[in-house]
Amino acid sequence: MSSISQYLHRDYMGDLTEFLDSPPREYGIAGLICGWTIENLLTSDRIGKYADPERFLCVQYGMNLLNQAIWTYFRPAHWVWISSCAAFLTSRCSSAHGGILYPESILRYAARPLFRDHLRIVVSESLVEETEAYFIPAYPEALPGMERHFSAGLISGNALVQAILNDKDCLGFAMRYARRQWKAGGSS
């Protein structure tokens, strides 16, 4: 079992609850991760309340990658996806609070917070790759309700990967995926 899988099943909901209950809640709408709400995680008096801030951000990244692809390219499956996946914070904040508008920017923003007195969370490349390997494409296929869309051919693991690879808002994933493919081909 991957460390992302263990975190998702053991500590994630506690961290999500901590994030959603963090003051000042008036800075953002519940359920969004944006420049204002992410500051709830990056302050020195808050970060110790999370079981694993790096993996919390990785789960947000992975879920937003999938959400981006399913919403954009497999719309008929989107409501089933949203109702059966783990709860997550969407990066689709329309208020422009700090430029977290696409999945990769969640990790980028945490590494370069807006305020000097806030902490930086730099997630390792290996943890990002582990996150991508865990979520894409296997995670949605295993969810109750989603199997109907996969078995009916409305969505497939390969089509999901291709959708993410071709989406300009998921460029970071595409670059890492290409590098992994190149390394795999180069080592054989």
Q: Is the whole model's pTM more than 0.75, yes or no?
A: yes
Over residues 36-61, mean pLDDT: 85
The structural domain count of the chain equals 1
* Sequence-separated (6 or more) residues with CB below 8 Å from residue 136: 62, 65, 66, 160, 161, 164, 173
Q: What is the tens place of the pLDDT at every residue in 109-141? A: 888 766 666 677 888 989 998 998 898 888 888
Spell out the residues 6+ positions from residue 149 whose beta carbon is closer than 8 angstroms to its own.
74, 76, 77, 80, 155
Domain span at residue 15 reads 3-186
pLDDT at 25 over 60: no
Look-up: residue for tokens 């209950």?
21
3-state secondary structure string, 6-50? HHHHHCHHHHHHHHHHCCCHHHCCCCECCCCCCHHHHCHHHHCCC
pLDDT in tens, 147-169: 888 888 888 888 888 898 888 88
Task: Tell me the C-alpha distance between 123 and 121, whole Å.
Answer: 6
Report phi then psi at 156, rounded to 5.
-140, 160
Q: Which of 24-28, 45-49, 74-78, 164-168 has the lowest mean pLDDT?
A: 24-28
Identify whether the C-beta of residue 141 lies closer than 8 Å to the C-beta of residue 150. yes
Could you give the angle at the alpha carbon of 112 between the alpha carbons of 7 and 12, nearest 5°? 15
